[in-house]
Structure 1
Amino acid sequence: MDEELDQLRERLEALTERVAALESAAPPVEAATSSPSTREERFWALTGLETRLADHPETSDGEVMLVGSLTLPTGAPVSWQQSAGTAGLLEVDWSERAAAFAALGHPVRIELLRHILSGVHATADLAAMETLGTTGQLHHHLRQLVAAGWVRQSGRGSYQIPAARIVPLLACMIGVER
């Protein structure tokens, strides 16, 4: 019993030392009430949007933007910006958008999208991945993604994600992080 207690104490001491080392190496966390210049630096896109809204009072209800610039693993550059005024957005029926969200609601479809973005476009190559299910299941999931507009057929047995969907898809992935 004493030996177990000694081992636990040693482990606790080692963990305490590791935590202290990590804390001393980590950059300090800034408070949410940081200075305006720090806020402008950290939220440069938001600051730009707020300036734009101030310059265009006709959009007084606000605006939502999706913006991104990246290079895919295939080396292809993607840049996209999309915005919409928020006037009436909370009052309209959202149910017609449910199918697009539902298409993202299956783990295999999310994996399919990730693989397609990474450069795997051919159905045969996708079918070779065991995690994506049988060929029949794969085609079912691809049809769901095509119907929702997340994927399009770029040739016989080849799929791609339209450029206009890449940044919104990645924004969804960021948006669901907790």
Structure 2
Amino acid sequence: MTSPEARLDALEARVAALEERAGGPPPDDRGDATGEVGYHGSVRLQEDHGPITWTIGYDAAATLGLAAGPVAEVLAALGHPVRLALVRRLLAGPAGTGELVEAAALSSSGQLYHHLRTLTAARVVEQDGRTYRVPDSGVVPVLVALLAAADLAGALR
């Protein structure tokens, strides 16, 4: 049988390996004093769906080093008025193409599919059969992005 010390060492090594794959240890363990940024939320936007809870904290300096490509892709996807209208509608629940064309005041489904391709490529929206939705794991992050954008624009004052 292995000693408790050896088991603890092995467990610490496994945790360190997992942290490294996930972007490093939590901010308190990094040894720098840059601080932490984060967000959390617990929302229930759909009557037939339970609450969605999400919390994340990340080292402030490491945030500046995140890959620019995926971040820019999400910001660009959310940065178009039609796509923003689609995401707002989908936060209320899944919807088919007819509902989405109406929600975004589009004149054709071709225009809709163009915008949905951008949103799905950025993983802001996913297709579920014949409907589209914001994945549960994206609800709070999307709401936070909208809130942060409104704050930056001075729209909360």
Structure 2 length-normalised TM: 0.68
Q: Which has the larger radius of gyration?
A: 1
2: CA distance, partners of 1:92 / 1:117: 26
Where does the alignment leave 5 or more consecutive residues of structure 1 unmatched? 1-51
Describe the SS at the equivalent of 1:140: helix
Superposed CA offset, 1:100-156 (max 9, x none): 11001111111101111112421232234461341100111111100001001111x
Asked if 1:141 corresponds to 2:119, the answer is no
Where does the alignment leave 5 or more consecutive residues of structure 2 unmatched? 1-25
Flag as ranges the 4+ runs of structure 1 deviating above 4 A: none
- Could you say which structure has the greater relative contact order, defined with CA pairs below 8 angstroms and 6 or more residues apart? 2
Query: After the TM superposition, which residues 1-20 of structure 1 pair with which residues of structure 2 at under 5 Å, given as runs?
Result: none
Query: After the TM superposition, which residues 1-178 of structure 1 pair with which residues of structure 2 at under 5 Å, given as runs?
Result: 58=31, 60-76=33-49, 77-91=51-65, 94-129=68-103, 131-155=105-129, 157-177=130-150, 178=154
Describe the SS at the equivalent of 1:121: coil
Number of corresponding residues: 125
Describe the SS at the equivalent of 2:61: coil
> Contact 1:62 / 1:85 at 8 angstroms: preserved in 2?
yes
1: CA distance, partners of 2:103 / 2:146: 22
Describe the SS at the equivalent of 1:89: helix
Structure 1 length-normalised TM: 0.61
Deviates more, 1:63-72 or 1:89-98: 89-98
2: CA distance, partners of 1:74 / 1:134: 30
1: CA distance, partners of 2:100 / 2:119: 14
* Inter-CA distance 88–115: structure 2 relative to 1 (3 Å threshold): closer
